[in-house]
Every structure is written in C-alpha cells, then in structure tokens.
C-alpha cells in the first residue's frame, strides 16, 4: 500500500452520482457514508436494478466509443492532466440521447420508485424524471479503464519496503510470496468487481467498501467493516508519523551524522503539527495532478535508491534500528537467511515479518468501490486491475532484488532512509515528506469521517458534518485524532514491525479476508435464485421465493461447489496468515523493547 496520496484524490469531486455535492469537497465522503440504502431492500432487488444499470451503461459506452473513437495511450496520458470537462460533456450528450429515447419509448421499469414498505411512488419530482436524473448522475462518471489503471497504481504502489522483505526472506521465498500475494490480490479485486457489477445501480449506488457488506449481511457487517477501516486508517497515520519523524531526524543530523539532531519525539511532533493544520482543510478542488505526481515521486525515489547503492548501505541506521553491527561482508541468500543475517528476527519469525511487508505492499482494495463508482463502464474494470497488478508486481520484484543484491543483510526499511550519502538521503526524505504529509491528511480525513458517522453521529447523536456545529466538532476532533496517532507512533518506535502489524491485522483483512468472505455470501445467494420460477416484481418491490433457509443455502452452494469451497479455504487461509503475521510482529516488537533497540517517547532516534 503506497504511503502517498490515495487514488480517490485524483477524482475531481465526491460521489459522481450525487450532483448536489460540491466538486472537490472532501466532506463529500460524508454523504457517501450516509447509507441511504433501505434496510428492507432485498438482495434480489439490488440485482434487478444492477442488471438494468449495466445494460444501459454498456449501450452508452458503446455509443460514446463509436463517436469518440478508441482511446490511445497518448490520449490516456493527456487526459490525466486535463480537467475532463470536454469528456464529461461528450459523455453527457450520449447518456442524454439514450434517456430521451427511453422516455419516448415509454419504458416504465425505472419510472417507479419502490419504497421500503412495498408501495410505489412516482419519481417525478419538481418536473425531473428518472431519465433526467440518470442523465445528470451518469454524466459525471467519466473515468475510463485507462484512467482507473493509473489510479490503482497510484493507490497501491509503494516499493520502498520490498528490498527489506527480500532481505528477510531470501531470493526464492521473496519472489514466491510476492507472486502469490500479487495473484491473490488480483483475485480479491476481481471478486469486488463482480460483486459491484452485480449489486450497484443508479437507484442503489455502492459508494464505499462497507456497502458491499451491508447488502450481503446487514447493518452489523457494515458497522464492523467501517470501524475496522477507521482503525486501520488511524494506524496508517501513526505509521506515516513515525516514518516521517525518522526522515526529519535524519535531515536534522547533518552530513556528518555525528550530531543527534532534533529530539526524535520533537520530530514526530513537527509532523503531527503540520497534520493539525492541514487536517482542517475541507475543500480540495482539482487536485488530480497530485495523483500523477505521486507515481512519479515513487519512480524518482526508486531511481534515487538504486543510484545510491554505490555508496554502500547505511550501517548506522541498521545498527540503531535492529542492533546488527557493521563490518560484516554483505551476503545474499537464495533461501531464508540464517540467524544473524536478517534484521527482522530469527528464522521463522524473520520470514513472517518479511511476509507482512509483502502483504502491506498490495493493500489498496479498500478504495476499489470508490474507483468503480467513478467509472463510465465498470465492466471494464478487470482491464485496469490486471495491467496495474502486472506493473506493480514488476516494480516490486525488480527493485527488491536489485537493492538486496547490493545491500544484503544491511537492507533497510524504508529503503530511502537506508541511503548512506547524506545529500541523496536528504533529497529522498524531502520527497517522502511531501507525498506522505498529503497522504496522512487524507487518510485522517477519511478515518475520522468513518468514526464520526458510525459512532458520534449514529450512536451519540452528534450533528451531521455538513452543518455548522458539525464543522466545529470536526475542527476540534482533528487535533485529537492526530494526537492519538502520535501517541501510538511514539510508543512503538519500530517502523518495520509496526508496519508488519498493521499489514497483518488490517491490510491483509481488507485485501484478502473480507473479499473471500464476501464471495461466499454473494455467489451462494446469487446461485440460490431459480430462473423462471422466481422473479422480482418492480411494481410491488417483492420477490417470490420458492423456499428459504438451509435448503436454499445448500442449493446455492452446490451450484458451484468447488468454487465456493475454494473461497472458504481462501478465507480460512487469510485468517491463519493474519494470525501468524500478528504473532511475528508482536514477538519482534517485544524483543526490540527487551534489547533496548526500540524505546518509547525517547529523544534518541531509532535509526
């Protein structure tokens, strides 16, 4: 998972199917989490309207491509630096023509709005028809699969931990694990894509990760997933505070490295204070260029690290963080390194810590719902996903092997802080500070919104964030949020192990465990439907079930027994991996404190 601006920063505005929201307003995330889905809407009704929406999108996309012509690579790159108004206007014209044709034909399936009690009401509202509403909504959904490829890459790509993972695993296990987790992260993305296409519609849009679970399992699942997401984002902000505190500390020590520089806790406070200030920003308009910049910052950091190998490893940082003394010859291993030749621990624990970093590297599925919601033709998402995964996988493998080949057991995480030459190290740290500060502000923004809506608003009755009093509460809670993240970072000052713990407990869950759980529920429910005997009636909002309970679940499972069994195995395997990852991180943190390598709330930097 990249610690740079998340991909949704590049999407100019909030939910594309809520035109009333101000474009670029970060608080639009509030509306996207105000779940307007009616509790009484059935799974089958979601599927019914999703099928209508997919068919209409397919027709609109075909007409748009015919009128515009296929997108070239040059056009894709150029489009990422434009504001997208011409593309939006062109697609709006296509959608408008289809809607007018629908009105003329008198198609009535979408002319009725089904309420929760099964009655119907006209969608005519102040003279606005359903077709006109669809035109306004879909006109803002302009992202092509090429654009979404770029956004997935921006969100996931974070290669600076890959060399350290190889140093714990060795060449063979490192390549194997990055390959397996890369393939499985694609499979998880494929699951989310299929479920999105099956349940999302113009009437009942999916706007966030929690919506998947709300529609499958109810409100309790949505609350659980959203609170887990909020906790993950809080810990992610803590990791960023810790990482950038180390960057500020390195910069402050000067080229000689003999001075201790600024007190390490003060370094983290400096970064936290910047978060206090920037966290108050509620409107970030037209910042799509930052997503482009984030990828190039990553590429620049990779090249900087690769050039820096001519100066040797940063022995002082490795010794301060892991207690590995300098002076040994640099060694590399095809298999798991022996004790004393890996900084992540001994034997099995070291391998698990390397595995945790590999897991963290592919995190990003949490934003896939938001990316799909912005697409003109969500059925094309698989193209974005497979091209992005291949590119990201190639970057991890090449960069990880390259750096480990030169630095061996002295490979550091993040690799930019393992640069020995002060000038290049400072340049890399400054680039990291710029991108990571923006990322931390956005992660805290999303995380606090989830907590505010799930706990403060829904359970404690606090005002909505769009009200004046809600904005005052936001201004007061942002410093508290950053202060909690700072306390976590200062209490556990060991970057690699805390990254591993976050990766094992949350990144792994959102990227592997939760999609597997979702897949079991979705396909069993979907395949339990009997075509011809069961049907949804849009006039009454009812579905005539043939049966219920165990018999229905058994029929759904046995339609694809091997596929469903694999998803259950995938779910259980992800849970075991989560447990092993948490175990290794906790053991390593405990040993680090016992050996005085890591200290809490100390002026002494951990590198």
Instruction: Please state which of the ranges 105-119, 429-443, 460-474 shows the lowest mean pLDDT.
Output: 105-119
How far apart CA 384 and CA 190 sit, in angstroms, is 11
Classified as helix, coil or strand, 286 is coil
C-alpha to C-alpha distance for 510 and 363, rounded to whole angstroms: 8
Q: Could you check whether the bond before residue 418 is cis, i.e. omega within 30 degrees of 0?
A: no
Q: Give the domains, in start order, of the chain with CATH numbers.
A: 7-84+142-513+577-594 (1.20.1740)
- pLDDT tens digits, residue range 358-401? 887 888 788 788 788 878 889 999 999 999 999 999 999 999 99
Residue 276 scores a pLDDT above 60: yes
Phi-psi region of 69 (alpha: psi -120 to 50; beta: other; left: phi over 0): left
Q: Please tell me the predicted confidence (pLDDT) of residue 285.
A: 38
Residue 194 has pLDDT above 60, yes or no: yes
Measured distance CA(226)–CA(206) in Å, rounded: 14
Q: Using one digit for the tens of pLDDT, what is the confidence trace for 128-187?
A: 455 555 655 555 566 778 878 877 887 787 888 899 999 989 999 999 999 999 999 999
Query: Structure pTM?
Result: 0.78
Mean pLDDT score across all residues of the chain: 77
Work out the average pLDDT over 92-111.
53
Q: What are the Cα distances from residue 248, in Å, to 65, 191, 252, 417?
A: 49, 41, 6, 11
Average pLDDT of span 579-583: 85
pLDDT tens track for 470-495? 888 888 888 888 898 888 888 776 66
pLDDT of residue 499: 74
Residues 402-442: pLDDT tens digits?
999 999 989 988 888 888 888 888 898 888 887 777 777 76
């Amino acid at each position: 998972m990249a610690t740079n601006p998340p991909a949704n920063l590049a999407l100019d505005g909030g939910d594309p199917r809520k035109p009333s929201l101000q474009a670029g307003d970060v608080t639009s995330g509030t509306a996207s989490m105000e779940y307007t889905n009616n509790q009484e809407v059935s799974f089958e009704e979601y599927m019914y309207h999703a099928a209508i929406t997919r068919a209409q999108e397919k027709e609109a996309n075909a007409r748009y491509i015919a009128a515009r012509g296929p997108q070239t690579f040059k056009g894709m790159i150029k489009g990422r630096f434009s504001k997208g108004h011409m593309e939006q206007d062109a697609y709006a014209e296509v959608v408008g023509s289809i809607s007018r044709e629908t009105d003329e034909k008198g198609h009535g399936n979408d002319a009725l709005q089904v309420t929760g009690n099964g009655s119907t009401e006209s969608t005519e509202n102040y003279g606005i028809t359903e077709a006109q509403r669809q035109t306004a909504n879909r006109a803002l959904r302009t992202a092509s699969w090429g654009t979404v490829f770029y956004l997935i890459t921006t969100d996931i790509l974070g290669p600076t931990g890959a060399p350290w993972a190889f140093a714990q695993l060795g060449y063979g296990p490192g390549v194997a694990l990055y390959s397996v987790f890369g393939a499985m992260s694609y499979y998880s993305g494929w699951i989310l894509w299929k479920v999105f296409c099956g349940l999302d519609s113009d009437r009942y849009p999916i706007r966030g990760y929690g919506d998947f679970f709300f529609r499958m399992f109810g409100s309790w699942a949505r609350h659980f997933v959203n609170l887990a997401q909020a906790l993950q984002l809080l810990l992610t902000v803590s990791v960023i505070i810790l990482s950038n505190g180390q960057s500020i500390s390195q910069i402050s020590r000067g080229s000689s490295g003999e001075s201790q520089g600024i007190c390490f806790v003060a370094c983290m406070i400096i970064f936290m204070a910047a978060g206090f200030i920037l966290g108050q920003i509620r409107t970030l308009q037209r910042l799509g260029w930052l997503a482009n910049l984030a990828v190039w910052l990553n590429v620049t950091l990779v090249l900087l690290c690769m050039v820096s190998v001519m100066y040797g490893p940063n022995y002082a940082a490795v010794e301060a963080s892991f207690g590995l003394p300098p002076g040994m010859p640099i060694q590399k291993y095809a298999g798991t390194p022996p004790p004393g030749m890996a900084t992540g621990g001994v034997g099995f624990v070291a391998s698990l810590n390397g595995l945790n970093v590999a897991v963290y590297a592919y995190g990003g599925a949490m934003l896939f719902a938001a990316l799909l919601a912005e697409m003109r033709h969500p059925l094309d998402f698989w193209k974005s996903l497979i091209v992005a995964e291949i590119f990201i996988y190639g970057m991890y493998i090449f960069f990880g092997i390259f750096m480990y080949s030169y630095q061996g057991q002295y490979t550091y995480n993040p690799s930019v802080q393992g640069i020995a030459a002060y000038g290049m190290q400072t340049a890399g740290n400054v680039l990291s500070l710029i991108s990571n500060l923006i990322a931390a502000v956005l992660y805290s923004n999303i995380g606090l919104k989830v907590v505010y809506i799930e706990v403060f608003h829904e359970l404690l009755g606090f005002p909505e964030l769009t009200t004046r009093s809600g904005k005052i509460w936001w201004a007061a809670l942002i410093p508290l949020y950053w202060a909690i993240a700072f306390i976590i970072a200062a209490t556990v000052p060991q970057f690699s192990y805390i990254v591993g713990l976050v990766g094992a407990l949350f990144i792994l869950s959102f990227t592997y465990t939760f999609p597997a759980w979702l897949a079991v529920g979705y396909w069993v429910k979907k395949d339990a439907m009997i075509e011809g005997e069961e049907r949804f009636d849009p006039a009454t909002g009812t579905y005539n079930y043939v049966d219920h309970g165990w018999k229905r679940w058994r029929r759904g499972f046995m339609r694809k027994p091997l596929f469903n069994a694999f998803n259950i195995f995938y779910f259980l395997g992800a849970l075991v991996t989560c447990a092993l990852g948490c175990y290794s991180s906790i053991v390593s943190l405990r040993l680090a404190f016992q050996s005085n390598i890591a200290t809490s709330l100390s002026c002494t930097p951990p590198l």
